[in-house]
Amino acid sequence: MDNRIEKHIDDLVGVFADPIIVFPGAWGETLPNWIKQEITLERLIEEIKAQKGEQPTGTDAEACAYLYTVNLTQPIDRDWGEIYIYLVTKLQKVKGGDMPEDLKKETLTSYQEQQLRDLKDWIYRHRVQARIERRRAAKREAKELEKAKAPVQLGLGL
Q: Which tens digits make up the pLDDT trace of 32-80?
A: 999 999 999 999 999 999 999 999 999 999 999 999 999 999 999 999 9
**Model confidence band, residue 153 (pLDDT cutoffs 50, 70, 90):** low
Q: Which among 57, 49, 56, 47 is positioned nearest to 16, based on CA atoms?
A: 47
Phi, psi of 19 (to 5 degrees): -70, 160
Question: Could you give the CA distance from residue 99 to residue 116 in angstroms, rounded to a whole number?
Answer: 20
Average pLDDT over residues 131-138: 90
* % of the chain beyond a pLDDT of 90: 70
Q: What local confidence, expressed as pLDDT, does residue 17 receive?
A: 93
Single pTM value for the model? 0.85
pLDDT at 103 over 70: yes
Helices 60-73 and 33-51: crossing angle in degrees, nearest 10, is: 140
Residue type, 152: V
Q: Minimal CA–CA distance to 127: which of 4, 48, 13?
A: 13
CB–CB of 87/64 below 8 Å? yes
Instruction: Kindly report the average pLDDT of the chain as a whole number.
Output: 91
pLDDT higher than threshold 90 for residue 133: yes
pLDDT of res. 157:
58
Rounded mean pLDDT, 83-87: 97
Q: Which one is predicted more confidently, 70 or 143?
A: 70
Ordered by start, the domain boundaries in the chain are: 3-132
